[in-house]
C-alpha cells in the first residue's frame, strides 16, 4: 500500500484508475474482505459465525460501535430501534403521490430522500446526538418504508409496525398482513429473513457505499446520503443483481437449457452475463453465497417445497459453471445474489422487492461508514480527478457560421 498523495500533489500528477480497481478511497476499520480466500469479517468476526450465532440487530450494534454489545447495551439498542420504527404520518400522503405501478426501489429513493423534510431535528451532521438519532431512525424506519413501498405497489393498506415483534418478524408482518387476515410469522422464516439482513449488512467500499461516502463528504445530511446509496444499489451490476438473477433462472427454466445460457455468457458478442456470478473483490467463493445456499435448502424444506425447479436450475448452473474453463480461469464464482432470490421468492416476495430488501439490510453498513467518515478529523470532500480527452482551446463560432 503506497500513500502517494503528497508526492503526487508536489509533482502535479495523478493516477488513472477507472472503476477504482486498485485505489483505496479511505481507511476503515469496519469490514474486511480477503477476496482470494473468500473471507469476510465484520469488525473482525467471520460472517459465517455471525450468520449462525448472532442476529441482525446485534450485528448492527457491532458495525456501528465496533464491539459486540453486552446484555444491557443490546436491550437498550433494541428498545431504541423498536421505538423508531413508525414513520411520520404525513409520509403516507407522500407515498400516495407515486404511481401505483412504481418500482418499490423508485419509491424508496424518493421517500428516504424526503426523510430530511420530515426529521429536521436530526440533520446537523456536526452534532453527535443528531447523528445518533438519524442513524437510529434510518435503521428502524427502512423496513417500514420498504414494506409500505410494497403494499402501495399492490394496492393494499399500509400495516403499522408492532413493538412486540422482532426486527425481521416486524418486516414480514408489515409486508404480508392484511386487515382481514393477520399474518402468522413463522419463527424459522423470521430467522432466515434475519440472516439475509445480516449477510447484506456491510461490504466495505462497494459502489453504493462509496456513493454514500462521496455524498456525505460534502456535508450532505444522512437521509440524502442514504437515498443516494439506494439509487446506486438499484443497478443490475450491484444490488439489482438479485432480481436479475432470479429472472434469469426462471428464463432458463429447465436444466437442459443451461448449456445454451453458459455459451451465451462466454460469447464476447453477446452482452448477456450470468447474473449472480462474479465479483470485483472475490476471486473465490463469496462466503455469503455459501450460507445463502444452505439457507435456501432450509427454507424450502420448511415450506415443504421439494421440487423447486428454480433451485434445481441454480444448483446445476453452479455445478456446470464451476467446471467450465471460462469461469475457472476468470475466477467467476456465485455471489451473494445467486441464492438469495430463491429464498425470498419462497417466502412470497415478488422479484421487485429483492433489491429493496438488500437496501434495508445495507442501511446499517452505509450509516456506519458515513459515521466513520464524518467522525474522522482528516475527512475531506471527495473529488476525483479526470483524464481529459476533449478538444483543446478553440474560439467560439457564431451560430450563423456553423
Ligand atoms: N458472466 C460472464 N462473464 C463474466 C461475468 C458473468 N457474470 N462476470 C464477469 N465476466 C467476465 C467479463 O466478461 C470479463 O471478461 P474479459 O476479461 O474477457 O473481458 C471478466 O469476466 C472480468 O469482468 P469485469 O466486468 O471486468 O469484472 P468486474 O470486477 O468489473 O465486475 C461484476 C464485477 C460487475 C460483479 C461482474 O462480475 C458482473 O457483471 N456480474 C454479474 C452481475 C452480478 O451478479 N452482480 C452482483 C455483484 S455482488 C453485489 O453487488 C452484491
Please write the tens of the pLDDT for every residue from 2-33: 777 777 777 778 889 999 999 999 999 999 99
Overall average pLDDT of the 315-328 stretch: 93
Nearest Cα residue to atom 39 of ligand 1 = 237
41, containing H or E segment: strand 39-42
Is the pLDDT at 297 greater than 90? The verdict is: no
Record the pTM. Answer: 0.92
Catalytic residue status for 120: no
Catalytic residue among 55, 103, 200, 279, which?
279
Catalytic residue status for 3: no
Is ipTM beyond 0.90?
A: yes
Q: Does residue 33 have its Cβ closer than 6 Å to ligand 1?
A: no
Please report the pLDDT score of residue 2 as a whole number.
Answer: 77
Q: 386: which 3 cell numbers?
A: 479526470
More reliable by pLDDT, 140 or 301: 140
Overall average pLDDT of the 234-257 stretch: 92
Q: Does residue 279 have its Cβ closer than 6 Å to ligand 1?
A: yes
Q: Which residues pair with 42 in a beta bridge?
A: 31, 45
Q: Does residue 37 have its Cβ closer than 6 Å to ligand 1?
A: no
Compute the CA torsion angle 118, 113, 213, 78 (nearest 10 deg): 50
- Of the residues 278, 314, 362, which should be mutated to test ligand 1's pocket, given the most ligand atoms within 8 Å of the CB? 278
**3-state class (DSSP) for residue 177:** coil
Cα–Cα–Cα angle for 388, 393, 394, rounded to 5 degrees: 135
Is the pLDDT at 305 greater than 90? The verdict is: no
Cα–Cα–Cα angle for 244, 248, 249, rounded to 5 degrees: 120
In angstroms, what is the span from residue 275 Cα to ligand 1's centroid?
9
Amino acid at each position: 500500500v503506497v500513500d502517494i498523495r503528497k508526492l503526487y500533489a508536489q509533482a502535479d500528477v495523478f493516477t488513472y484508475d477507472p472503476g477504482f480497481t486498485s485505489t483505496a478511497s479511505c481507511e476503515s476499520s469496519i469490514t474486511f474482505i480477503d477476496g482470494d480466500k473468500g473471507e469476510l469479517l465484520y469488525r473482525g468476526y467471520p460472517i459465517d459465525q455471525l450468520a449462525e450465532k448472532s442476529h441482525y440487530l446485534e450485528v448492527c450494534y457491532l458495525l456501528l460501535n465496533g464491539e459486540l454489545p453486552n446484555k444491557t447495551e443490546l436491550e437498550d439498542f433494541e428498545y431504541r430501534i423498536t421505538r423508531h420504527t413508525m414513520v411520520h404520518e404525513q409520509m403516507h400522503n407522500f407515498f400516495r403521490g407515486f404511481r401505483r405501478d412504481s418500482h418499490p426501489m423508485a419509491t424508496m429513493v424518493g421517500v428516504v430522500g424526503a426523510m430530511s423534510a420530515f426529521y429536521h431535528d436530526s440533520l446537523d451532521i456536526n452534532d453527535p446526538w443528531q447523528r445518533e438519532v438519524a442513524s437510529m431512525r434510518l435503521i428502524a424506519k427502512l423496513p417500514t418504508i420498504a414494506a409500505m413501498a410494497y403494499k402501495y405497489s399492490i394496492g393494499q393498506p399500509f400495516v403499522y409496525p408492532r413493538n412486540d415483534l422482532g426486527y425481521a418478524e416486524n418486516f414480514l408482518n408489515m409486508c404480508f398482513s392484511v386487515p382481514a387476515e393477520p399474518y402468522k410469522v413463522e419463527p424459522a422464516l423470521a430467522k432466515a429473513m434475519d440472516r439475509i439482513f445480516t449477510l447484506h449488512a456491510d461490504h466495505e467500499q462497494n459502489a453504493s457505499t462509496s456513493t454514500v461516502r462521496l455524498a456525505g463528504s460534502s456535508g450532505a445530511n444522512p437521509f440524502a446520503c442514504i437515498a443516494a446509496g439506494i439509487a446506486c444499489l438499484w443497478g443490475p451490476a450491484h444490488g439489482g443483481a438479485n432480481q436479475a438473477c432470479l429472472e434469469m433462472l426462471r428464463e432458463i427454466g429447465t436444466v437442459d437449457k443451461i448449456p445454451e445460457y453458459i455459451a451465451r455468457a462466454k460469447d464476447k458478442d453477446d452482452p448477456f452475463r450470468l447474473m449472480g456470478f462474479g465479483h470485483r473483490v472475490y476471486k473465490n467463493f463469496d462466503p455469503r453465497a455459501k450460507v445463502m445456499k444452505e439457507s435456501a435448502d432450509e427454507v424450502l424444506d420448511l415450506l415443504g417445497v421439494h421440487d423447486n425447479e428454480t433451485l434445481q436450475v441454480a444448483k446445476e448452473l453452479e455445478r456446470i459453471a464451476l467446471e467450465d474453463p471460462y469461469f475457472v480461469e476468470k475466477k467467476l464464482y456465485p455471489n451473494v445474489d445467486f441464492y438469495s432470490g430463491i429464498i425470498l421468492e419462497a417466502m412470497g416476495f415478488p422479484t421487485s422487492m429483492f433489491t429493496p430488501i438488500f437496501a434495508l439490510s445495507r442501511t446499517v453498513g452505509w450509516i456506519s461508514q458515513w459515521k466513520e467518515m464524518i467522525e474522522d478529523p482528516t475527512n475531506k470532500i471527495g473529488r476525483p480527478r479526470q483524464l481529459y480527452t476533449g478538444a483543446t482551446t478553440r474560439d467560439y463560432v457564431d451560430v450563423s457560421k456553423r
